[in-house]
Amino acid sequence: MGNLPETETAVLAAQKARYHYNLGMAPLVNLRSFLEAQGLMIFTIPFGNEQNAISGLFLSHSKLGNIIAINQAPADTRLSFSLAHGLAHCLYQHDQPAILCHHGVTNPLECFAERFAAYFLIPSAALQERLHSLGVKRVRHPAEVVHLAHYFGVSYEEMLIRLDLEHQLAGSQEDFKLIQPARLSQNLGYSSSFEESGGRFLPLEKRLPRIFLELAYRAVLADKLSLRRVAEMLGISDIELEERLFTSEQTLEEIAS
């Protein structure tokens, strides 16, 4: 997909991307796995918790291809939005060698990517269908926002913004910000991880691309790199790498048999 003409919008771009990938209206349960299946390299990096910290990075590498790096700090529900934001850059600004992303930045590239992510993750038709299934014409209670946020796999704040774009909020966004989303989410029976800080240590599978891990394991098994060197590269202990290699060898043997 090439660059969009100026007369087209990020909303239409999101619709085209969904059509291109034959996604229909279904929520994207695991956007990371989907993007990796399309050949993108996804990294999760601790860019920082500061307000002006980098939220993500898009890089077009001559050998590795398209790379999206997202900040480890935000809650898990923000990760899907950051990935969709990076996808916008990948599809429509791929002529840029690298793009640094910051929340709240209002330059044309970032505004396009933010609007693209909102409509790519939450298509208008899917939102209207979900509201209808909930028996809601306009959202009047924060609990309804929580239900919708969980369904589409986005944060409470992002769901508010999306509902406002669709003119589906019975009141201003500020009226819905007088609650604690994480506590309300727990009270409604959802996972306690919703809206919690992502500052915890993430497992390798959430920090590095799957192909990156597979190549690292194969390098050790083929004696191309030492176990200690690869463990240092991955940021884990020698013992954990040995356990992972044992599991990897077992998997390879099962495939071969």
Express each pLDDT in 30-47 by its tens digit: 888 899 989 899 988 888
Cβ-contact 92, 13 below 8 angstroms: yes
What does the pLDDT average to over 15-24? 92
Express each pLDDT in 195-236 by its tens digit: 554 444 567 776 777 777 888 888 888 888 888 888 777 777
Mean pLDDT of the chain: 82
- Which helix or strand (DSSP H or E) is residue 118 part of? helix 108-121
What residues contact residue 51 under an 8 Å CB cut-off, 6+ apart? none
Q: What is the pTM of this model?
A: 0.77
- The upper half-sphere exposure of residue 251, i.e. CA atoms within 13 Å in the direction of its Cβ, equals 9
**What per-residue confidence (pLDDT) applies to 35?**
92
Express each pLDDT in 92-124 by its tens digit: 887 888 888 877 777 888 889 999 999 999 999
Length of the chain: 257
